Amino acid sequence: MNTGFECALVGAASFDSAHFAKERFDAVVAVDGGYASLADSGFSADFALGDFDSLGYVPCDVPVERHPSMKDDSDTALALDWARLRGYSSVALYGVLGGRLDHTHASIAALVGAARLGTCAVAVGEGCVVCALSSAGCRVLELPAAESGTFSVFSFSDKACGVCETGAKYEVEDVELASDVTLGLSNEFVGRPVRIEVSSGDLIVYLPLLPLSSLKFRE
């Protein structure tokens, strides 16, 4: 399954407008304060969603889905559900990394939750692209050849089994990663295409700031 990343969700954290400008999406959704981030960078949203406590007002120029401020899910998680229920199988999140560490962690957890349900989900920001892989959904990531640069692979589940990394400086075959080890830190591109996969469990992959069109997810 090759992803064109049909939908972009834009939150209120640091917004990489230069990367965003080079991508094309069928729908752009402002998640709360992401509405201001888009507007400040000269972009418009097709839809706005959230409790709008960060933005401070409810947008009036786009369709809106408003949520109560007292809720069990973050606006980012609710936005991912919104995209999935409307048939978007590939979603890119901007403005959800950086700032408060707990918010960043919650965004990464939401990525994994989306991947478990079969959504190809990535987050862009802070100079990197973060991808979620899950044996329940998108379990393979293929990357183009690069002469240099690093990437890291960590287990988000207690254990991730059958982890393979081919084409990189450090190749691994059918290893087990636990969530409390740092074994997957800083592998290197060496001019060959890279393939990362998991047979059981969930992975988070930290990549350089690559074009989203270069990422290929497969079941």
**Phi, psi of 115, rounded to the nearest 5 degrees:** -65, -40
Return the pLDDT at 219: 84
Return the pLDDT at 86: 92
Return the pLDDT at 67: 85
Return the pLDDT at 75: 86
DSSP state for residue 77 in the 8-state scheme:
H
Strand, coil or helix: 183: coil
The residue ranges of the chain whose pLDDT is under 70 are 1-3
Separation CA 93–CA 31 (nearest Å): 10
Residue 79's H or E segment, with its range, is: helix 75-85
Q: Are strands 47-50 and 27-31 parallel, antiparallel or unpaired?
A: parallel
Using one digit for the tens of pLDDT, what is the confidence trace for 92-151? 999 999 888 999 999 999 999 999 999 999 999 999 999 999 999 889 999 999 999 999
Q: What is the pTM of this model?
A: 0.92
